[in-house]
């Protein structure tokens, strides 16, 4: 019998083949950022780096993420605008220099296989 991915210490996210029909799929940077957000979102409710987050949310600094992904700050703002407009993410709050972002329907991507 196969071990659960969670029990073996690995964490997974699930992408449906329908992602190729997603309105932002033709924009590779949007897909890259969305997948980055998925794999870095809080896997459960709790405190992460001293910040209270619910499952499927994460706290980021947009300028740092832009540098890390080799994108411009303006490009990153456009990507986040596109992701929010197609209801893939919600901006939860701005705290200090960072932003809390919620992945819409995170449980869909985090289901056990």
Query: What CATH number should be reported for the domain holding residue 26?
Result: 1.10.10.10
pLDDT at 104: 96
8 confidence band (pLDDT: 50, 70, 90): very low
Tally of domains in the chain:
1
Say how far residue 38 (Cα) sits from the centre of its chain.
Answer: 3
**Does 74 fall in a domain?**
yes
For the purposes of burial, counting CB atoms within 10 Å of the CB of 34, is it exposed (0-12), middle (13-18) or buried (19 or more)? Answer: buried
In a domain, 9, yes or no: no
Asked if the structure places residue 21 within a domain, the reply is yes
Q: Is residue 61 part of a domain?
A: yes
What was the pLDDT predicted at 76?
Answer: 95
Which residues constitute the domain of residue 72?
A: 17-43+50-107
| Residue 11 located in a structural domain | no
Look at residue 3 and tell me if it is in a domain.
no
Does residue 39 lie in a domain region?
A: yes
Q: Please give the pLDDT value at position 103.
A: 96
pLDDT of 21 reads: 92
Cβ-in-10-Å burial (0-12, 13-18, 19+) of 102 comes to buried
pTM over 0.75? The answer is: yes
- Whether 10 has a pLDDT exceeding 70, the answer reads no
Which residues, at least 6 apart from 91, have a Cβ–Cβ distance to it below 8 Å?
Answer: 80, 84, 99, 100, 101, 102
- Whether residue 37 has pLDDT greater than 90: yes
Would you say 62 and 73 are in contact if contact means Cβ atoms under 8 Å apart? yes
Q: Which of 4-8, 47-51, 80-84, 97-101 has the highest mean pLDDT?
A: 80-84
Average pLDDT over residues 13-41: 92
Q: Report if residue 93 sits inside a domain.
A: yes
CA distances from 55 to 35, 67, 68, 73 (A): 16, 26, 23, 26
């Amino acid at each position: 019998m196969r071990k659960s991915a969670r029990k073996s210490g690995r964490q997974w996210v699930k992408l449906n083949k329908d992602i190729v029909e997603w309105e932002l799929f033709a924009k590779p940077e949007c897909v890259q950022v969305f997948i980055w957000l998925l794999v870095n979102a809080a896997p459960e409710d709790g405190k992460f780096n001293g910040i209270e987050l619910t499952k499927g949310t994460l706290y980021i600094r947009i300028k740092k993420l832009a540098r890390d992904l080799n994108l411009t700050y303006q490009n990153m703002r456009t990507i986040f605008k596109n992701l929010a407009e197609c209801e893939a993410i919600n901006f939860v709050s701005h705290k200090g220099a960072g932003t809390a972002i919620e992945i819409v329907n995170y449980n869909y991507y985090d289901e056990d296989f």
